[in-house]
Chain A
Amino acid sequence: MEVLCAEDIVKVYGENLEVNSNNVLNGINLSIESGEFTAIMGQSGSGKTTLLNILSGIDTPNSGTVKIINKYITSLSKKEKSIFRRENLGIIFQSFNLLDNITLAENAALPLIFKGISAPIIDEKIKEYFMFFDIYDIRNRYPYNVSVGEQQRAAACRALINDPYIILADEPTGSLDPNTSKKFMKYLQMINDAKKATILMVTHDIYAASYCRRVIFIKSGKIFVDIYNKGDQRAFFNRILDTLAVISGE
């Protein structure tokens, strides 16, 4: 089943709407199936984060449509987009976006609180996900009192707790050291396997991308190529490396 479908996405910063290489996004077409674990890669300035922002409804394209679970989010108002985002999407931000004045557990519970779920069910879900990510003991701490890795895991709990149709992650390992990064990617892989969660992430990290089943490469605002993991992570890692070399013209 198709969860996300983006057609002819064009994003320009400025006045000129014609399709050319100066546009941030130049008519991108993208389709994500249910249960896919996909990464978007590309050089700096290739439009990865802009694409993710458009797919999540945080940013608006100049033209083109984004359909998530049969709903065209590009035609929604700002308010409807916010409500759609909190009810149907799980987003892991690069800077985590955890609120400093509430605890990690409360941060993670926000999507359920928005839905009006009762407290005992929220507590149960918090326990389940915090145990899964191994941060249950620090659930009552504030974000500024825990490490970056723990903050990232709490942010992941918030993204997953709602059982969203799709999880969008912007450089989820960008602030983590290699070890924590590896651990975090394993958690995402486990979530993808165990809960059949659909994950789309933007990353620079080749190692993180090698955990995915599919990697989409963007160059000059267009999809350059997408490659699939056939089971061997090491071989997939090497393919990603080779593709990046081609993109950068080496």
Chain B
Amino acid sequence: MNYGKMLKQTIKLNLDQYFLYIFSLIISVIFFFTELTLYNSYVAVIKQKNVFVLPAIAVFNTALWSILTYISFVKHRQKELATFLALGMTCNELKMLLLLENILNFLIYVPIGLILGIIFSKIIVLFIFKLAGISAFTFEFKSIIYIITIGHYILLTIIFILWTSKFINSLSLIKIANHKNLYMVHSKKENLLRIAPYVLILCCIHFNERIALNLQSRYYIDYSLICIVVIFILFLIFINIFIVFAKKSKNFYYKRIFLINELEDSLKDNKIIIFFIAFLNFTFIISERICNLTSVKTRFNTYNIFQMSSFNSIYIFIVLLSFIASSTILYFKIKIDLDNWQFEKIKLYNIGLIDKEIDSILLCKLRLIFFSHIFITTLASIVYLYICKLGKEFMINTIKIFICYFIIQLLGYIITRIKIIETTSVFYLY
């Protein structure tokens, strides 16, 4: 079999989605590299090497982002992959094809991401920080940053390849041939295994944060974890109770049948991503506690145009990058998932729904994905502030970060809404 030709054909077949996927990975590399560079400068200045929360979040954020985008990208192509199998390609040949595709992708997005990352980091340090009056930071390129970035993406590529291999083994030709539901039903054990790596990384972040603080302050970290987990569980329970009661009250249910089912489905499909984004953003919003470290307080007592210490400005800048990253993750995930929505939309149109009703279903999905984590984060932050009885300064900083968070997510939602409704309105017939 000529893998080169096949590779060319498969890329041609999914050109739009492929472009989105590569673009999303390039942004992920830029984000990772920039955050690592800033962290490196920051460590050099404060001379405290045990504050790992920033690189840990960079690793987690980009890993989550890349893995979710990859899974969406491959699932979107499952019919095509199953067709290859049905036409006589063996599982090993298909795995080899996707392995080559992953290597090719790696060779495209990593160099481009690194070059753009260097430019982006330089712009931040040399122009934006200088303009903001932050002079404590100098920009240094260290080979270790390149090695870590490349290593991180090699590891991710290996994860992609392993996941693809498992996915190809689980492809059911019969289901696809019969146009049956393509979603795989996982057992409880499989579900636990799926979320175990994420939980492990979260525990690492949590543990690293604990190490960074003195003994008296460590309970803040434990409270923060308890707050976000409990609020998320309560949120899920509340939504599920609402759905159960809504379905029991038939008149109410029938009037909102599409919205209630969309709510149920979207929550089922996106609960993991909603939780992790809420967790990361919550960590950032309440992480102002790091500035209470003695070494940070004594070193950064100068104020800049934002009326904050240099440390806070840098910290908030990295936080903003992360918020933009979470918004972008959601945007690309929705864009890649959108292909299935086109078929759904045609079905809905054919059975008599008007454009406004169809759009309201899509908007329900978008609102749930973009705003549920804001809701969870806000509630968790309020509970956290209430329990820990933190000072006025802390509260003001938290509110400032929260406002940034809300504005970025709102912008993300508006851009996605405009782009998606624009794209999906160009359809007709079956």
Tell me the smallest distance from the CB of A245 to a CB of chain B, in Å.
31
Contact A82 B353 (CB under 8 A): yes
Within 8 A of B (CB), among A81-98: 82-83, 85-87, 91, 93, 95, 97
Residues of B within 8 A of A132 (CB): none
Residues of A within 8 A of B250 (CB): 119, 122-123
Q: How many A-B residue pairs have CB under 8 A?
A: 64
A126 to B349, CA, bound (A): 23
Residue A102 CB within 8 A of the other chain: yes
Contact A148 B257 (CB under 8 A): no
Tell me the smallest distance from the CB of A176 to a CB of chain B, in Å.
13
Within 8 A of A (CB), among B375-430: 429-430
A111 to B347, CA, bound (A): 14
Contact B351 A97 (CB under 8 A): yes
Contact A83 B354 (CB under 8 A): yes
Q: How large is the interface on B (under 10, 10 to 19, 20 to 34, 35 or more residues)?
A: 20 to 34
Partner of A119, one of B251, B350, B352, B355: B251
Residue A192 CB within 8 A of the other chain: no
A91 to B347, CA, bound (A): 12
Residues of B within 8 A of A19 (CB): none
Residue A144 CB within 8 A of the other chain: yes
Tell me the smallest distance from the CB of A207 to a CB of chain B, in Å.
23
Residue A118 CB within 8 A of the other chain: yes
Contact B355 A78 (CB under 8 A): yes
Contact A91 B350 (CB under 8 A): yes
Residue A225 CB within 8 A of the other chain: no
Contact B178 A148 (CB under 8 A): yes
A 172-196 to B, binary, CB cutoff 8 A, 1 in contact else 0: 0000000000000000000000000
Residue B261 CB within 8 A of the other chain: yes
Q: For A59, A113, A123, A158, which residue has the most chain B Cβ atoms within 10 angstroms?
A: A113
Contact A114 B355 (CB under 8 A): no
A82 to B359, CA, bound (A): 14
A123 to B251, CA, bound (A): 11
Tell me the smallest distance from the CB of A161 to a CB of chain B, in Å.
12
Tell me the smallest distance from the CB of B262 to a CB of chain A, in Å.
8
Q: How large is the interface on A (under 10, 10 to 19, 20 to 34, 35 or more residues)?
A: 20 to 34
A1 to B257, CA, bound (A): 36
Partner of A113, one of B257, B264, B349: B257
Partner of B349, one of A82, A87, A144: A82
Contact A102 B261 (CB under 8 A): yes
A190 to B355, CA, bound (A): 36
Residues of A within 8 A of B350 (CB): 58, 91, 93, 97
Main secondary structure of the interface of A (DSSP, over half): helix
Tell me the smallest distance from the CB of A79 to a CB of chain B, in Å.
5
Residue B188 CB within 8 A of the other chain: no
Partner of B265, one of A101, A110, A119, A123: A101
Tell me the smallest distance from the CB of A237 to a CB of chain B, in Å.
30
A100 to B265, CA, bound (A): 11
A106 to B255, CA, bound (A): 12
Q: Indicate whether A86 sits within 8 Å of B254 (C-beta atoms), given known contacts A101-B265, A102-B261.
A: no
Contact B355 A79 (CB under 8 A): yes
Residues of B within 8 A of A91 (CB): 350-351
Residues of A within 8 A of B351 (CB): 86, 91, 97, 99, 110, 158
Among residues of A, the one whose C-beta sits closest to the C-beta of B358 is A82
Residue B191 CB within 8 A of the other chain: no
Q: For A111, A114, A118, which residue has the most chain B Cβ atoms within 10 angstroms?
A: A114
Contact A114 B251 (CB under 8 A): no
Contact B429 A114 (CB under 8 A): no
Contact A85 B352 (CB under 8 A): yes
Residue A109 CB within 8 A of the other chain: yes
Among residues of A, the one whose C-beta sits closest to the C-beta of B262 is A101
Residue B5 CB within 8 A of the other chain: no
Among residues of B, the one whose C-beta sits closest to the C-beta of A93 is B350
Residue B170 CB within 8 A of the other chain: no
A 138-169 to B, binary, CB cutoff 8 A, 1 in contact else 0: 00001010001000000000100000000000
Contact A114 B352 (CB under 8 A): yes
Among residues of B, the one whose C-beta sits closest to the C-beta of A111 is B352
A118 to B180, CA, bound (A): 32
Partner of B429, one of A59, A111, A113: A59
Contact B257 A86 (CB under 8 A): no
B 228-250 to A, binary, CB cutoff 8 A, 1 in contact else 0: 00000000000000000000001
Among residues of B, the one whose C-beta sits closest to the C-beta of A118 is B251
Residue A63 CB within 8 A of the other chain: no
Partner of A86, one of B180, B262, B352, B430: B352
Contact A122 B254 (CB under 8 A): yes
Residues of B within 8 A of A95 (CB): 179, 430
Contact B257 A102 (CB under 8 A): yes
Residue A53 CB within 8 A of the other chain: yes
A114 to B256, CA, bound (A): 10
Within 8 A of A (CB), among B254-300: 254-255, 257, 261-262, 264-265
Residue B2 CB within 8 A of the other chain: no
Contact B355 A99 (CB under 8 A): no
Among residues of B, the one whose C-beta sits closest to the C-beta of A50 is B429
Among residues of B, the one whose C-beta sits closest to the C-beta of A84 is B352
Residue B181 CB within 8 A of the other chain: yes
Tell me the smallest distance from the CB of B1 to a CB of chain A, in Å.
33
Q: Indicate whether A99 sits within 8 Å of B347 (C-beta atoms), given known contacts A82-B354, A119-B254.
A: yes
Ordered by A's residue number, 17 sampled pairs between the chains whose C-beta atoms are within 8 Å are A78-B354, A79-B354, A79-B355, A82-B353, A83-B354, A93-B350, A97-B351, A99-B351, A101-B262, A110-B257, A111-B352, A113-B257, A114-B352, A116-B255, A119-B254, A144-B180, A144-B181
Given A58-B349, A82-B353, A122-B254, 4 more pairs with CB closer than 8 A: A91-B351, A97-B351, A99-B344, A99-B348
